[in-house]
Structures are given as C-alpha cells and as structure tokens.
Amino acid sequence: MTKRTLVFVTVLLALLGIIFLTEMRKKNALESIQLNEIPSFPSFLFGEEQGAVSAFRISAETGEILELERGEFGLWIAIQPEGADVPQGTVEAAVSQLSSLPVLADDLPLSESEFGVRDQATQVSVSFADGEILMFQIGDPTPSGNGIYIRSADGTISIIEKDSFDTFLKILTYFGF
C-alpha cells in the first residue's frame, strides 16, 4: 500500500467511528428518557366531551350580569342586558378563549381565605350543547401573578391562566361593564 492509500483508509475509518459513536449516543439518550419525563399536554377547564358552548353568564362582583345565548342560525343574542347589540365576532372570540382556558393546577387543598373567593365574587356559568351547565367563581390572582384561583360548583379549587381568562373577560367592556 502506498502512503496515500493508508492516510485515506485511516481518515475513512475515523469518520465511520465518529458516525457510529454519535448514533449510539443518540440511541442511548432516547432509551434513557422515561415516560414520566415527557411533557404532557395541558389540561383545559372544559373538556372536548362537553361539546359546543351554547350560552354563558357572567355575574360580576358589582351586580352587573352579562348573559348571552346562541340563537337561531348560531347567532348570539343578549338575554341580559336585554336588547343589547351583540358583536358576533367578539363573542365567538371570547367563547373560543373560554373553551380553551388552561388549568395550571387542579384540586388544591386550600381554604376560602387562601384563594380569595367570596360570596359576591364574579361567577361564570357555561351551558353546553349537550345540556350540561358548569359554573365557577373567581378568586384572587396567584402570588406569581400568572394564574387566578377559581372554585368550581363542586368546591374544587383550581388555578387557571390569568392572561387567557382576562382575554375572555374583555367581553364585558363591549357591553359597557
């Protein structure tokens, strides 16, 4: 063998060795990942099993009530305030936001004083096409400011994402609340 051939074969073997070691490292890394280390999908306040939102009601702490219902042809109508002009696109955007509220923590063992839900707290009631009605009360923001405590009708305390919920509540401004 000539010197050139010997250098070529050495470089080729070195490259093949590097490729082999890299592939083995990738394979070992994938095998070492445990199932519980894989990030899970976020949970939402309302699941897909409820179906489409057919109505919702927001009772604000101030006593004002916004109640909207899906009427004929899927258009939203105002139940309260009666006869109010309903911006269809804005309501659909709010309902979409409501349907995808992320839950940051669920079933927390807290007392009422720890999460700030009072009797006059803002209440949200959501009716679905299947006839199910889910309600919750709004509490205080979390200490980090990223979430809001809520209490479901069954007494379960959860934390939902604050920004998403604030986006939903902007619907109140369209009706002068």
Tokens of 82: 């009666």
Cα separation, 60 vs 51, whole angstroms: 25
How large a percentage of the chain has pLDDT more than 70? 87
Nearest to residue 121, comparing CAs of 35, 59, 57? 59
Q: What is the pLDDT of residues 134-160, one digit of tens each?
A: 999 998 888 888 889 998 888 888 899
User: Would the pTM count as exceeding 0.95?
Assistant: no
Is-contact 67 54, C-beta < 8 A?
Answer: no
Query: Is residue 46 over pLDDT 90?
Result: no
Cα separation, 177 vs 174, whole angstroms: 8
Range of lowest pLDDT (20-29, 42-51, 105-114, 129-138): 20-29
* pLDDT tier, 40 (very low <50, low <70, confident <90, very high otherwise): low
> How many other CB atoms are found less than 10 A from the CB of residue 126?
21
The pLDDT score that the predictor gives to residue 100 is 86
Is-contact 105 158, C-beta < 8 A?
Answer: yes
Cα separation, 159 vs 138, whole angstroms: 10
**Amino acid residing at 114:** E
Range of lowest pLDDT (100-114, 143-157, 162-176): 100-114
Query: Is residue 75 over pLDDT 90?
Result: yes
